[in-house]
């Protein structure tokens, strides 16, 4: 593997920050006491969190009006744990911030992991897709199989495209 040398670094921003990203700031991620209580009651009643969340989205009018604070990390952890109980080959890693809020997540199912073992010679990494719900970059690791076709090797959702986050994602 070669060594890369950076000759020039431009640290200034070349665009204005996006107002739609403001909901990603910690100060704007709030879950009302009413919604928290509703999630707790539904959980006790055995209603899955994703259904409770969908109900809260309908109640708030749209995903853009919804914010999650506590529980989002637990919900995704629960989801992947359930998937892993069905298939032990599923791998996932969750990155939390200092307040235990979900920052980043990486996952690869058994098929992705097997494809990586076979086709890891060429791996592309792409974060050009934004999810329509939270504007979090969707990170794809893609390889090329023996037929020259793209094959998925793993996925991630990241809070932003910061170098430290990419380091975490690549290590995961």
Tally of CA atoms within 13 A in the half-sphere of 32 that contains its CB? 10
pLDDT band (50, 70, 90) for residue 50: low
d(CA 16, CA 132): 20
Model-wide pTM > 0.95: no
Cβ-Cβ contacts under 8 Å for 16 (sequence gap 6 or more): none
Token reading at 128: 């050009």
Cβ-Cβ contacts under 8 Å for 131 (sequence gap 6 or more): 138, 157
Q: Average model confidence (pLDDT) for the chain?
A: 76
Cβ-Cβ contacts under 8 Å for 91 (sequence gap 6 or more): 107, 108, 113
d(CA 130, CA 138): 6
Question: What does the pLDDT look like over 64-81, one tens digit per residue?
Answer: 555 554 566 777 888 888
pLDDT band (50, 70, 90) for residue 142: very high
Residue 70 · residue 37 · CB < 8 Å: no
Q: DSSP character for 50?
A: H
- For residue 30, the model assigns a pLDDT of 57
Strand, helix or coil at 24?
helix
Percentage helix, strand, coil for the chain under 3-state DSSP, each rounded to 5:
40, 25, 35
Q: In what order do the strands lie in the sheet with 150-157?
A: 91-96, 102-108, 150-157, 137-144, 123-130
pLDDT at 119 over 80: yes
């Amino acid at each position: 593997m070669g060594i890369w040398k950076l000759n020039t670094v431009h640290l200034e921003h070349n665009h204005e920050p996006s107002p739609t990203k403001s909901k990603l700031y910690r100060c704007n991620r709030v879950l009302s006491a009413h919604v928290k209580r509703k999630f707790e009651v539904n959980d006790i009643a055995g209603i899955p969190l994703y259904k409770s969340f969908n109900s809260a989205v309908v109640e708030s009018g749209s995903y853009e009006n919804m914010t999650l604070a506590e529980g989002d990390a637990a919900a995704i952890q629960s989801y992947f744990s359930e998937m892993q109980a069905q298939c032990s080959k599923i791998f996932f890693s969750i990155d939390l911030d200092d307040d235990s809020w979900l920052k980043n997540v990486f996952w690869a199912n058994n098929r992705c992991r097997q494809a990586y073992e076979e086709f890891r010679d060429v791996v592309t990494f792409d974060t050009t897709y934004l999810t329509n719900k939270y504007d979090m970059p969707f990170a794809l690791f893609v390889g090329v199989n023996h037929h020259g076709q793209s094959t998925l090797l793993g996925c991630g959702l990241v809070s932003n495209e910061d170098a430290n986050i990419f380091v975490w994602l690549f290590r995961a």
